[in-house]
Structures are given as C-alpha cells and as structure tokens.
Structure 1
Amino acid sequence: MAQTPMPKMIFVNLPVTDLDRSIAFYESIGAARDPRFCDDSAAMLRFSDTIHAMLLTHARFSSFTERTIIDAHKSAQALLALSVENRAGVDAVIAQATQSGGTADPNPVQDHGFMYSRSFADPDGHIWEMVWMDMEAAMAGEPATEAAA
C-alpha cells in the first residue's frame, strides 16, 4: 500500500535564552505548543498544520551547528514572515506581541494598499513580519479597497 506523502512543511529553528519565556510569548500570539516535541531544551510551537517554530536552548541549538549564535538584538540573519487574514489582524498580532514582551516595529511599517505589513521582535530579538495581502488586487496591479481589507 502506498504511503500518503507528507505535505511540505517548515520548521523554523530559533535559539532562545529562556525557553519558558519564549513558549509563553509564542503561545500569546497564537502558536500552539505540541507536547510531543517538547523537553527541557526544546519546544515545538505550531502556527498552522505546515508552519512550526522550534524553540531551542542555546545548548541544544549548538548541537545542530558549529556556527556562532548571533545576538538577534544587534544582528539580523533572517526576517520571518507570516500571513494573516486582514489588515486588522496585522495590528492585532503586533499589539499582542508588544503586550507579551516583544518589541513593535523594529522594521518600517509597509503599506502598499494591496499589501500591509508590520513587524515585531520576540524577547530574543528574532524579527517576525505579519503580512496581509489582497491577492486579487496584487495580481491585477490595483490598490486594495477597504472592502477587500
């Protein structure tokens, strides 16, 4: 019997200085912890069926690479982006991230009519962008209307 192929998934591995604080932060912005993949050095947080963040203590993260863990408060290695359903959702996630110990808008707000994004830095300085896009307007090359938002 043929096995059903696994869907394409992403697991973003992030080094964190305080695992419990990071778990609480990501749960506050809507990620769900998967206890099957959690121990005292790692925790998997699920944003969707295909998008996950693996929070790893520095010691655990270092077991995967010999490269130096950067101070994400001072350096950027990646900008991670997640889509939300509407413009208000962008602002809501940023507000919740700020309330939960994150920093709002470490990068400039982007508002192109058909696309709106803002960013937050988690307590370890990792930058996430929340993005809403009106795909029909983007494909047509037209500005979005508030009705689409």
Structure 2
Amino acid sequence: MARRSNILAGAVLLAGLAALNSVSFVNPQPVERSSRMAMKGSAVEWVPKLSRDVVEVMFTAPAQGARSRMLIRADADVSEVIKQGRKKLGFDQDWMPDSDFKLYNAEDEDAGPLKGKMSENGLIDFSYEIHLYYEPQ
C-alpha cells in the first residue's frame, strides 16, 4: 500500500509541475512596441537617382533567356556596354558586328534603343536593367 501512495504522490507532483509550466504559456506578457513607434518618423522614401561613378546593372538578352550582372561606368558609351555585355553572355562571335545589337531600358522599351552615355539614358544607382536585342541592319 505504501508503494501505491508513493507512486500516486509522484504522479500528483508531476501533474502539478506540468500545470505550473503551462501557466506561463496561457497568459503571455504583451510585447513592447516602442521601437516600432520610434522608427515611424525616421522613414525616408528612396528617390531613384544616379550618384555613383560605377553602377551594377542587370544585363539581359530576353530572346535567349540569358542574364548577368555587370558593373558599368556611368559615363560609358552604349557601344562599350554592348561589347562588354556580349562578351559576358557569350554572344561575342566575330561574324556578328556590335552594330547589329541594340540596348533598351527594360522598363521603357517603347522609348527606343539607348544612345550616347549611359548616364544620359536614365541610369540609376539600383535596380536598373537593360535588354539586349539582335537587330541586324
């Protein structure tokens, strides 16, 4: 009989400990949100602009599904970027002249091919993508 009472006492003790541990999960303390409120006034909206001499762009040939990231100078001519991009994507065959390729701003292809310096073609610091198309003359 003493043995049964020891087992019963142990079971009651374990049940009590389990009940104490579960109480902490039943009524959790509220989380302080002061850090969130402190940041509310300090948020600054990003305005796309060009402020760097060298910019990372996504260079894509949509017809082939090839893409690569490239670092280009903001003052680089479009013809230099075409040459560099063709080499990067493996489209630098000698029998295809650079003049047969055109670059377009991915966000506004309807504006026509890019000409002149990259900084004059809407180049920005981040998230700039250019598309390369083969358009033989």
Instruction: Calculate the TM-score normalised by the size of structure 2.
Output: 0.25
Instruction: Determine which structure has more spread, i.e. the larger CA radius of gyration.
Output: 2
Structure ranking higher on relative contact order (CA contacts 8 Å, 6+ apart): 2
Q: Quick check: which one's strand share is greater?
A: 1
Given the two structures, how large is their TM-score scaled by the length of structure 1? 0.24
